[in-house]
Amino acid sequence: MTLPAPTKLFISAIVLLLTATSQQIQAEQAIKLLSFEQAIDPQQINATNSQLSISDQQAKFGQHSLKWQFNANSELSLYKPIGFKRFQPNAKKQARHTFMTWLYNETPIKDKLTFQFAKNQQVAASFEVNLDFQGWRAIAVPFETDMQGQPHEGMNQLTIKAPATIAANATGTLYLDLMALSIPVDPRWPTPDFQVPHVNKPIMARANAHWGALLSYDAWQQQFEQQPHASPSSAELAAIAQITTRIDQDILNSFNSSLNKNGKVKERAKHKTRKALRSQQLNLVSGKYAENTLNRGEERYFTDSGQLKPIQMGRQLEVYKKAAVNKQQWQSLNKETVKFRQVARHLLQLARAYRLTKPAHMKAKVKKQFTSLVAHMYQQGYVRGSAVGIMHHQGYSMREWSKALFLGREMLTPELLKDSQQAIAWLTGLGRIFRPEQENNGFNVDVMNTFLPGMLMSIVMQSKQELKVAYLRALSQWMSYSMLAIKGLSGGIQPDGSFYHHAQHYVAYGNGGLNGLTPVVYYLSHTPFALSDDAYLRLRHGVMMTRIFSNGLKAPISLAGRHPEKYEEITLAPFKYLSLMGDKKVASAYLRLANIDTDKLKNKAISITPEATPNGAWVVNYSSLAIQRRNDWLATARGFSRYLVGNESYADANHFGRYMNYGHVEILPSAAQDGGYQEAGWDWNRWPGTTTVHLPLDLLAANIYQVDQYSGVEEMLLSTQSYSGANQLDQQNAMFAMKLEGHAKYNDDLTANKSVFFFDNRMVALGSNISNSNRHYPTETTLFQQSISEDQPSFIGTQAITGNNTNKRTQLNADSFYLDTLNNAYFIPKGQAVLFARQHQQSLENERKQPTEGDFASLVLSHGKAPQNASYQYAVLIDSTPTEAQSFHQQLGSKTPPYQVLQQDKHAHIVHDKATDITGYALFSSNQQLADSLIAANDTPIMVMAQVKTSAASPAKQSEQASVLKLAVTDPDLNLYQGIDVNQVGADGKQKEVSIYSTKWRHNQPQAKTIQLTLNGLWQGQGEDYQVLSHHNNQTVLAVTSIAATPVQIQLTQI
């Protein structure tokens, strides 16, 4: 019996939900947090040589904590099952059971507490905590990796031992709260600090070192401060004032800015009258804004009794949620605790209010609340030396905090100012700028985005001018070096303009990185601390490339990473900051993208005009991406390889993204119109251009787990193939090709050779050797899938089709053509099976797998079930009309068609375009014989684009014509490693899943390769990356040196 599609989808959804529920029930063994709200039960808690009480003087959770007044050798014991569980190596997650608690110390003691865990009075595991602090601190100490001894699952006693020696007649007082005796925690997260420096020793080798290696960064920083430093020059001292002013003005200007997060003009700001703007300014100056801000602060951050509420970062609270603590406790904790970022935003509003408010009495009130909150945050543990147990992704909570403390520095006492400067330096990891250069692999985008502005602000807040200048020199040198130091798949801007994070080109993270980096570059510009020229050119290239791989502001959905909810938009702020530095070329691009009224600029005597929309071809092979632009449209083709991941899926994101880069071809028709992607109702099997096995969603959904302790809970699958990338000739026309391979994790033995050739507004797509053994589900190549309205017509030939109830399967016995709703025409030669549909589709959204639906048009080539050596061919006329499509269709049937496929097999795809006289070659293997008159042989799988033209032989012999051969040669192999990565080979000899973060070759530099290409005919010429080796039997042997899959442009003259 065949089930209808909606029924199948409903069953898939139920299966997914039941599976998730089952896993959740198994994982949830509600962990009880100790909050010490009840009277002490001496059978469970007692102390020797000390006093215990339940106190309301300090609290982190609830209204009370456990107060312990101790003497030398005092002991506090808790008699409860600890709940420790051993780590199971085959578990879906890498979480290790960890002891966590918060401690409030009234007076610093230069000694240590000892925590001992026992089973029936026999100590099994222990660790120490330094007591040289005042205020709240938190610790997170994994049992199996960071404690002394051997923890047992039956442990039932915790004993805390006071130092053996305390000053005569002195006592110590500690408050304990929010204690988790044993809670599963991701092994990357526990963070070493002054209290527990022994925790998480491998953190510098982990992918999250930029968040958590604060202790190492601080040590480098202290070493630097002990070194002698050259005296500041007058220019350097003058620059400090200039930098300070720029930061202040930028923070204040952003408050009144009419730009949204992407730098675009807010709609409501466009319509504000001058009267409304004057009123807004009056509110600021008069103190009304300050009064409103103060009232919000009183409501949100103070209790009814006037006490400040406890503060934690969101990621710290997330630990309890992930560990499935008691639901009621979690809800109470989440409700009672103020998030660090909320307080930071409020502090920034207060700092702005203080700067902009005129009445002295209001300024005094603002200062009082501001300083109270700042001091409270430090009492809560957010100071130098404290990682409060876990520091992970803290930068996202700190961006406003650094700005607030900097802008509000005039309100701080000398002591609070010093604490603030040190706290920012510690929590942003300022000391990272002293990492040895040989260990610097690039510029981490999280650091750019969330830490870098704060790092600069902490330097400028230094009290000593000499040290301030020394830090600024070091920061400038580190930024300049880091910009160019990128190794392999490390973070930063690749030479081709890819913006790298998570070992891939990532538009969303690139936006954040540029939004954090470019203001700092602007602040330092035209001073002795400016970025080096080479580093600036790399930054500028990265910024300008964002406008190339986007149309208007929208980037292709293939670049959405794990967030395919919608088209990601590039950010305009970087263009603004580089324009402020005086870069006229960037400013010209900014004017076009921001659609700024140039008449107003003329009135201000600014003689910069918007650039023309870029046209041409670009290759971004660190992203396996080809780009073709004409008029106002953008077309891209993207793949993946053994170096570049095909997808990024998290437990809460992109569950159905496995096929996202299986040769994904996109056409964005204009700056004002997208390519028809819509998540609601989207068939995740049918990304345009891809060849896939069409699976039910429960089989397509990612099976996500934590591969090892260095990775996150994610899926980022690699191929074993190195052949995937793009080529371009004269930056005018591009091609893309890949050897597609499914992953053995899903028993996916799909293989295919795929290619896409762009010639002006024409695209030719070929597939060959399409094979797999899946006899249950069909293999397909999708030409398009587009969201539609019922009255938007598609065309079969010249026949317009509307509505959403067409589903037509055709075995073509004649060449045919179709038009999508975006005016692109698709030409399909006879002999292929075509599925054309306009229909209502049901699907699941990518994060929570909730049902969605929508209307879509799609065009698909079917290769049947378990195909062996199947193939396809189609062409696209981009931005066409039914009349133009009809004419092109007729030309295809003539004796001189617009293009010819010269070869299409496992060895090569070769296509010749008549109008441009360009031939494109996807050579998937080495070859000794090709169906081509130009290329006779190649010793390496490569891509070639060739064009032969005639020109005068010399000025003296104008009548003699000679042929000039233009070639573009690309070896798409990034060549980060050679041979087989044995760590990706399972016991069965098949590819196994690994974490990209754990691969040993991830930071390797690409290695150059020399290719031998044999051409028919005698040719001469030489360039930096190519030379003629020999002539023999009317053939020319050419040597081409390729590195990092960069196209080599070659020009030869016929002899």
Residues serving a catalytic function are 393, 502, 509
- Characterize the bridge pairing of strands 311-312 and 338-339: parallel
Q: Annotation-wise, does 37 bind a ligand? A: yes
| Number of CB atoms found within 10 A of residue 485's CB | 18
Radius of gyration, CA atoms only, the chain? 32
Phi, psi of 834 (to 5 degrees): -115, 135
DSSP 881-903: -HHHHHHHHHHHTSSS-SEEEEE
Helix (H) or strand (E) holding 52: strand 45-55
Among 387, 65, 6, smallest CA distance to 195 is for 387
Please return the burial class of 890, using the count of CB atoms within 10 Å of its CB with bins 0-12, 13-18 and 19+.
exposed
SS3 525: coil
Q: How far is CA 498 from CA 128, 555, 625, in A?
A: 46, 13, 10
Distance CA(464)–CA(225), nearest Å, equals 11
Among 850, 821, 837, smallest CA distance to 677 is for 821
Identity at 323, one-letter amino acid code: A
Q: Output the CA torsion sign for 669, 673, 676, 679.
A: positive
Contact 375, 420 (CB under 8 A): no
Q: Annotation-wise, does 880 bind a ligand? A: no
Identity at 899, one-letter amino acid code: Y
| Number of CB atoms found within 10 A of residue 1036's CB | 23
Please return the burial class of 389, using the count of CB atoms within 10 Å of its CB with bins 0-12, 13-18 and 19+.
buried
Distance CA(676)–CA(681), nearest Å, equals 12
Q: Annotation-wise, does 894 bind a ligand? A: no
Distance CA(662)–CA(367), nearest Å, equals 57
Distance CA(79)–CA(158), nearest Å, equals 7
Secondary structure E strands in 788-938: 794-796, 799-801, 805-811, 816-819, 825-828, 833-844, 851-865, 870-877, 899-904, 908-913, 918-923, 935-938
| Beta bridge partners of residue 501, listed in sequence order | 504
Q: Annotation-wise, does 879 bind a ligand? A: no
Secondary structure E strands in 391-530: 492-493, 499-501, 504-505
Distance CA(33)–CA(570), nearest Å, equals 43
Distance CA(599)–CA(588), nearest Å, equals 14
| Beta bridge partners of residue 1032, listed in sequence order | 1035
Contact 928, 952 (CB under 8 A): no
Q: How far is CA 501 from CA 399, 492, 996, 1042, in A?
A: 19, 7, 12, 25
DSSP 954-1012: ETTEEEEEEEEEEEEEE-----SS-S--GGGB-TTSSB----GGG-TTTTPPPPPEEEE
Among 939, 541, 863, 549, smallest CA distance to 726 is for 549
Identity at 491, one-letter amino acid code: G
Among 557, 649, 567, smallest CA distance to 846 is for 649
Distance CA(31)–CA(437), nearest Å, equals 45
Distance CA(356)–CA(353), nearest Å, equals 5
The DSSP secondary-structure symbol of 782 reads E
Give me 1043's structure tokens.
């590195």
Which residues participate in the annotated binding site for Ca(2+)?
Answer: 35, 37, 64, 177
Which residues participate in the annotated binding site?
Answer: 35, 37, 64, 177
